[in-house]
Amino acid sequence: MPERGQRSVMAFDFGLRRIGVAMGQEMIGTGQPLVMIPADNGTPDWAQLEKLLAEWQPDLVLVGLPLNMDGSENDMCGRARKFGKRLHGRFHVPIDMVDERLTSYEAKGQVMAAGGSRDYGRHGVDDRAAVLILETWCRLQTE
């Protein structure tokens, strides 16, 4: 694995209907949206995830943890943790959970500011949220 600061990082914004995916470099501290993967009640197309991981070969995978505003966990946190454990178990990639409070809200604001509609599913909210998760993690690494 590359040294800290030089890792390639893939981030996931876990959701029940869609899972946003972004890719970035720890050194640069920014990410780019890759794709939104459809999910059936939180279950993704594992073959599609396998292809993404094989193509991009991240050194680390991040999964957003949707904590409540007071920092407590909710049902979605358990589902996101389970998704992270399954990623690790199936693909043997290191996983880190990242506090993602307000990333979807911020991503929706970005879509609206760029002229998007309220039909967020078609306009890249989930993959933009994954970028924000990645960038949050990068900022925390430099503190």
Strand order in the sheet with 8-13: 43-44, 30-40, 18-25, 8-13, 60-65, 95-99
| pLDDT for the residue 120 | 45
| pLDDT for the residue 122 | 47
Q: Extract the runs of DSSP E, i.e. beta strands, from 6-137.
A: 8-13, 18-25, 30-40, 43-44, 60-65, 95-99
Q: Which of 56, 65, 60 is closest to 35 using CA atoms?
A: 56
| pLDDT for the residue 48 | 96
Q: Extract the runs of DSSP E, i.e. beta strands, from 58-123.
A: 60-65, 95-99
| pLDDT for the residue 82 | 97
CA distance 120 to 104: 10
| pLDDT for the residue 100 | 87
Q: Which of 67, 21, 16 is closest to 42 using CA atoms?
A: 16
Kindly calculate the radius of gyration of the chain based on its CA atoms and give it in whole angstroms: 14
| pLDDT for the residue 69 | 84
- Global confidence as pTM: 0.84
Please give the DSSP secondary-structure letter assigned to residue 73.
-
Give me the domains of the chain, ranges plus CATH numbers: 8-142 (3.30.420.140)
Q: What is the pLDDT along the chain (143 residues), one digit of tens a residue?
A: 666 668 999 999 999 999 999 999 998 888 999 999 999 999 999 999 999 999 999 999 999 999 888 889 999 999 999 999 999 999 999 999 999 876 554 545 555 455 554 444 444 778 888 999 999 998 888 77
| pLDDT for the residue 1 | 62
